[in-house]
Structure 1
Amino acid sequence: MAEITNELLIEVPKSIPRDAAPGRRAMKAREEVIARCDPRQAVGQDMNTIYGMHAGRDARLARIERRLGLVGIH
């Protein structure tokens, strides 16, 4: 079994985003091809993107409200 060193603990996580980047590019390219083939699919993807952005902002707003103590005030 390989010895775990501080170098491994620091360097391996740094390489993960770089290793995942080609997969993300391939997935995005596939989605673009599907969107061009079927306009209904493109609209669905756009709606999912919008809903995802909205959910992220909603969660962020909830965290801000909790931090400021505004939750429960009407």
Structure 2
Amino acid sequence: MADVTNELLYEVLKSIRNDVTRIDHKTDEIKAELQAMRGHMIALPTDLHNIYVTLDRHETRLDRIERRLELSSPALP
């Protein structure tokens, strides 16, 4: 069996430290991506609300135009 020396232990520990550093960088990247996704998910309801407000405004304007041009059909009972 090979003798375990301080130099051998030092090399193994350096390798482990490099691996942990790489994992730390990857974790930071994943965290940044998750934060970006969270931001998009938070913005989505606001965007949908804005779309509904715009559609409602267009519907109101279209109803007004139809009334002015007398294009709307009478309401059924």
TM-score by length of 2: 0.44
TM-score (norm 1): 0.45
Bigger radius of gyration, 1 or 2?
Answer: 2
